[in-house]
Chains A and B, each alone.
Chain A
Amino acid sequence: MTKKLKAGPVLYLILLAAIIVLPVIARAEDDDISNKFFVPPPPFSPGIFPCSQCHRGMPVNKHPRKLQMHQEIADNFKHMPGGWCFDCHNPDNRDKLRLANGKLVSFKKSYILCGQCHGVVLRDWKVGLHGKRTGMWNGKKEYRLCVNCHWPHNPPFKAIKPLPPPVRPADIK
């Protein structure tokens, strides 16, 4: 009984500390994600980044339409049904991606964007099961961004040419 009473103020202190510290932890977690997963740079087409070189000051039109630029993206776009550019891109600063909650993420962390809708895959990716890691099995690993394997505008993995089959025993001289 007395023990419980003594625990009271301690508990209170812990709670207080938690209230003060929690927002810091939340922010730290965000940074954590950026630093924990070592990834290659985003696979942009040469010269296209920063997007703001063209988009700064350009009027924003949020409606699906024929585009004067990037039309191959609009033509081949096939991802979430009814989706359009600004489900992922940020209208105001095109150099960033935008999450559903309005938060901006850098292209270096586009996996956070994908993870909004593909939570299980993102979880598997973080532990190294989905996607690919190279380097040390017992040390530093390089991840691959989701967009290294999935073109975000039409994401199924693209078919590739297989390497030659083995020679048949009969063909061995």
Chain B
Amino acid sequence: MGKFTKKKDGIHLDRRSFLKGAALGVAGIALPLHKADASVWEAFFQKRFIEMNDAEKKQVLARLEREYEEKYKIAIKVGDEKAIPGVLFGYGLDLSRCIGCRRCVYACVEENNQSKDPQIQWISVLRFKKGEKWVDLENSDRYYNPELVPEEGYFTMPVQCQQCENPPCVRACPTQATWKEPDGIVVVDYNWCIGCRYCMAACPYGARHFNWAEPGRKPEELNPETHYLGNRPRYKGVVEKCTFCIQRTRKGLYPACVEACPVGARKFGNLLDPNSEIRYAIEHKRVFRLKEDLNTNPKFYYFFAYGT
């Protein structure tokens, strides 16, 4: 039976159960027919964002803003800044500087409206003992909690979406709810995600996160500057991940994690611009990418500035 929920705090369609119902040929799915629920129909027959024309987008953004306002009682702006022509975003992380302080993790949560309870964090900081075989992500410690960092004998490595040029998550999605934008950012259309989590299984970096419950966060703590494909409030049952702060970077701003890093380990810019700091890092420092053998071709470069 297709179910979609219209709670007092907003509307979200459970597209998965609807599709399941449809596939099973269950007739008479209870869709509301009175006028007040027009927006439910609108939401349901909404195209994927990538297929909409500007007028359709405008309509959808306005509808979302209405829904969010009703749900959170604050005005939330949902933008749709497009990719800047001639830009392919790349990220650099200097492992010789990172001290594992997790400032980036929490700056990201604030900026990108992650749920606090249950907790979702797009950045995980992994700790490794120096000298150990380390690019073994599974054997790292992410719960370290010393009095002070850096700690003698350890180094730390933050991991988030690697924005692969060849993203396995995109291929795994049965509804094409996730795709790679022209500026290289892999995005999720939360109104198309059915929550099957195939993408999570496909991601070699553990970078995708699932909303098992309704995202929990005080409305007054929401960042009201959002992007449709980025930090707008999510729904129960959808997958989310780092988008290089699409709502900031498409306006020319640095991502929140770059701004928050106290040691300056985080670098960001246009891979197509030979004068960008990211290009400088790639050309002058020893860089590597995570699990390069998988041919995912990440646009997230780790490097060691010290000693090179």
**Closest CB of chain B to A125's CB: distance in Å?**
9
Residues of B within 8 A of A133 (CB): 254, 264, 277
* Given A128-B267, A130-B305: A166 and B121 interface contact (C-beta under 8 Å): yes
Assembled-state Cα–Cα distance A69/B269 (Å):
46
CB distance A161 to B148 under 8 Å? yes
Q: Contact check, B143 vs A166: say whether CB atoms are below 8 A apart.
A: yes
Q: Is B149 an interface residue (CB 8 A)?
A: yes
- Give the distance to chain A from B259, nearest Cβ to Cβ, in Å: 5
Q: List residues of chain B with CB within 8 A of the CB of A124.
A: 305
A136 at the interface (CB under 8 A from B): yes
What mask results when residues 131 to 150 of chain B are scored 1 for a CB within 8 Å of chain A, else 0?
00000000000111111111
For B252, the chain A residues whose CB sits under 8 A away are: 136-139
Determine the chain A residues whose CB is within 8 A of the CB of B277 once the complex forms.
Answer: 127-129, 133
- B119: A residues at CB distance < 8 A: 166-167, 172
Q: Does A162 contact B (CB under 8 A)?
A: yes
**B264, A132: Cβ atoms closer than 8 Å:** yes
Contact B264 A131 (CB under 8 A): yes
Let me know if A82 is at the binding interface, CB within 8 A. Answer: no
Q: Is A157 a contact of B263 with CB atoms below 8 Å?
A: yes
Known: A163-B102, A164-B145. A129 touches B150 (CB 8 A): no
Interface residues in B261-308 (C-beta closer than 8 Å to A): 261-264, 267-270, 276-277, 280-281, 284-285, 305
Number of cross-chain contacts by CB at 8 Å: 95
Chain A interface residue count: which class? 20 to 34
A165 to B146, CA, bound (A): 10
The 4 A-B residue pairs with the shortest CB-CB distance in the complex, in nearest-first order: A132-B264, A128-B277, A159-B148, A163-B102
A–B complex contacts, Cβ < 8 Å, 20 sampled: A127-B280, A128-B277, A129-B267, A129-B280, A131-B264, A136-B252, A136-B253, A137-B252, A137-B253, A159-B150, A160-B99, A160-B148, A161-B149, A162-B101, A162-B102, A163-B102, A163-B103, A165-B102, A165-B144, A166-B105
Chain B residues with CB under 8 Å of chain A are 84, 87, 94, 99-103, 105-106, 118-119, 121, 124, 142-150, 249, 252-254, 258-259, 261-264, 267-270, 276-277, 280-281, 284-285, 305
Question: What is the interface of chain A, defined by CB distance below 8 A to chain B?
Answer: 124, 127-139, 144, 149, 157, 159-168, 172
